[in-house]
Amino acid sequence: MGAEAAHPQQQPPSSVRPCREAAAPAVLGLQLSALIDHVARVDWSLLDRVPGDRGGSQQVSIVELNHILNEVNTHILPSHNDLTPITTIAGGSVANTIRGLSAGFGISTGIIGACGDDNQGLLFVNNMSFSGVDLTRLRAKKGHTAQCVCLVDASGNRTMRPCLSSAVKIQANEFRKEDFKGSKWLIVRYAQQNMEQIIEAIRIAKQEGLSVSLDLASFEVCMHTTDLIARSKLTFCLIFLCDCLPCRWSVTLGLSLLTFWRPVTLTFASPMRMKLERL
């Protein structure tokens, strides 16, 4: 399908949970299902041929996902660097965050979740380990790894088409205190369909003394999660276009300005940098 993988394909591993001897990562990311992104720069005409609205995110079946990937080759935008039409790489907002902390800031990170025993699962493992992310808390399961097509237009606008329905995921009863023990932060992205796992992970993390960062993703989510935020005693909460909520640190993303609610005298960049230095 013309995809550019970051690492050559091999036989998928039966397990990605070697014995733990190193110190616990400072930052853990909870991503219930490992995810592979297929990123392509395309013209908007392709979006008339795929389900859903332009600029949004709508789940698709594996058949629809493969159809979109096949269509990409006839709708790609010209490239000056001769790259293949599709870049295939480990994705998901949590995975991207901890990979950036590890590779960009030198902060020790790990991921809690599950990946399939397919080629996409192997690619996820290779990509994350290449960036220095600890994978000893990532369960390898028999089944499929989640995938998402990310269609990017000339202006950088994204249209997401994830395929998650058949993907393996970690369950709430699989979390162990040892997964969290010794770490300082847990990064979580809200997902309404996985509330049991999210609440259980936050509960154990708080018992083990971790601070919790929750990405609420959208203002619609904010309006329905005030109780979760209050009960979880979150330390850092990323909020989009939303009024202040009961967590010690909250970020409100306005239409044209990023500001911290408390303390109001700090800029967006300085407290984030200060937080990273304290890990």
Inter-residue contact 178 to 163 (CB < 8 Å): no
> Based on C-alpha coordinates, what's the Rg of the chain?
19
Q: What is the pLDDT of residues 54-93, one digit of tens each?
A: 877 888 999 999 989 888 877 777 666 656 678 999 999 8
Q: Which amino acid is at 137?
A: R
Rounded to whole angstroms, how far apart are CA atoms 124 and 187? 18
* Total Cβ atoms within 10 A of residue 217: 18
Q: Which fold has domain 27-232?
A: UDP-N-acetylmuramoyl-L-alanine:D-glutamate ligase (3.40.1190)
Residue that the structure tokens 């480990």 belong to: 90
246 — phi, psi (to 5°)? -80, 70
Q: Which amino acid is at 6?
A: A
Q: What is the pLDDT of residues 139-183, one digit of tens each?
A: 999 999 999 999 988 888 888 899 998 899 999 999 999 999 999
Inter-residue contact 162 to 147 (CB < 8 Å): yes
Question: Does a cis peptide bond (omega within 30 degrees of 0) precede residue 263?
Answer: yes
**The pTM is what?**
0.73
The C-alpha angle 60, 58, 42, rounded to 5 degrees, equals 85
Rounded to whole angstroms, how far apart are CA atoms 175 and 244? 31
The pLDDT of residue 169 = 96
46 pLDDT band (50/70/90 cuts)? confident
Beta bridge partners of 212: 186
Which whole-number Å values give the CA distances from 271 to 15, 62, 109, 145, in the listed order? 38, 42, 20, 36
The pLDDT of residue 208 = 96
Through-space distance between the first and last CA atoms of the chain, rounded to whole angstroms: 42
72: left (phi over 0), alpha (psi -120 to 50) or beta: alpha
The C-alpha angle 251, 256, 262, rounded to 5 degrees, equals 25
Beta bridge partners of 134: 110
Q: What is the pLDDT of residues 187-220, one digit of tens each?
A: 998 666 788 999 899 999 999 999 888 776 554 4
